[in-house]
Amino acid sequence: MCNDGGHGMITLTINGKQHQVDAPDDTPLLWVLREWIGMTGTKFGCGVAQCGACSVHVDGEVQRSCQIHVGDVGSAKITTIEGLSPDGSHPVQRAWLEHDVPQCGYCQSGQIMAAAALLAQKPRPSDADIDEAMTNICRCGTYNRVRAAIHTAADLAGKV
Partner 1 sequence: MTASIGLGRRFFLASTAAGAFSLGWKIPAAQAATGAEVGIWAEIHADDTVIVRIARSEMGQGTLTGLAQLVADELDADWSKVRAEYVAPEVNNARKRVWGDMSTGGSRGIRASVDYVRAGGAAARAMLIQAAAQKWNVAAAECSASDSVVTHSLSGRRLRYGELAEAAAKLPVPEKPVLKTPAQWKIIGKGVKRLDTAEKLTGAQKYAIDVILPGMLNAAIAQSPVFGGKLVSFDAAKVAGMPGVRHVLAVDDNAVAVVADKWWQAKTALEALPVTWDEAGNGKLSSAEIARHLAGGLDAAEAGLGQKQGDLAAGLKAAAKTVTATYGTPFLAHATMEPMNCTAQFADGKVEIWVASQNGDASLAAAAEAGGVKLGDVKVNKLHLGGGFGRRGQQDYTRQAVLIAKQVPGRPIKLIWSREEDMQHDFFRPITQAKMTAGLDKDGNVTALHARLSGQSIVAYLSPSRLVNGVDPVAFQGWAADEFGYMAIPNLLIDHAMRNTNVPVGFWRGVNANQNTIYMECFIDELAHAAGRDPLAFRQALMAKNPKHLAVLNAVAEKAGWGKPLPAGVFRGIAQNYAYGSYVAAVAEVSVSAKGAVQVHRIVAATDPGYVVNPQQVAAQIEGSFAYGLSALFYGENTVENGRMVEGNFDSYQILRMAEMPKVESVIVPSGGFWGGVGEPTIAVAPPAVLNAIFAATGKRVRQMPLKNQGFFPA
Binding positions for partner 1, rule: CB under 8 A:
3-6, 17, 19, 24, 27-28, 31, 34-48, 50-51, 53, 80-82, 84-85, 88, 93, 96-97, 100-109, 112, 130-132, 134-147
Q: How far is the CA of 97 from the CAs of 35, 102, 108, 119, 139, in angstroms? A: 29, 9, 12, 17, 19
At 104, is the secondary structure helix, strand, or coil? coil
Question: CB of 62: closest distance to partner 1 in angstroms?
Answer: 14
Q: Which pairing describes strands 55-58 and 61-64: parallel, antiparallel, or unpaired?
A: antiparallel
Question: CB of 117: closest distance to partner 1 in angstroms?
Answer: 15
Question: CB of 71: closest distance to partner 1 in angstroms?
Answer: 14
- Based on CB atoms, which residue is closest to partner 1, 9 or 140? 140
At 61, is the secondary structure helix, strand, or coil? strand
